[in-house]
Amino acid sequence: MQTATIIIKNGYQPTEVHFQAQQPAQIIFQQEDSSPCLNEVQSTALQFKVQLAVGDTKTVTIDTSQPGEYEFACGMNMFHGKVVIDS
């Protein structure tokens, strides 16, 4: 299982993660920011939407069947990140 941890603090750290196509993958979101804007992470392309309170850690499974670049953002669409699925 491929995994990447993204810390939410003044945005997303790191802002970009890479996975190999056709291999199971998960992103672990670790919430360290109390801003209401950052209490939600969503991606239409990757089909997830999660709520996170300060101190929460949530895992999202990523579909890696199609190589490409997929964006995610906070609930207010002010902070952005990217998932890159390499072929």
Q: For the chain, how many structural domains are there in total? A: 1
Select from 29, 24, 26 the least CA-distant residue to 65: 24
List the CATH number of the domain containing 43.
Answer: 2.60.40.420
Low-confidence ranges of the chain (pLDDT < 50): none
Identify the pLDDT of residue 53.
Answer: 96
pTM value surpassing 0.75: yes
Domain holding 24, by residue range, is 2-86
Identify the pLDDT of residue 24.
Answer: 96
User: Which residues, 6 or more positions from 36, have their beta carbon under 8 angstroms from its beta carbon?
Assistant: none
Identify the pLDDT of residue 11.
Answer: 97
Select from 24, 32, 51 the least CA-distant residue to 12: 32
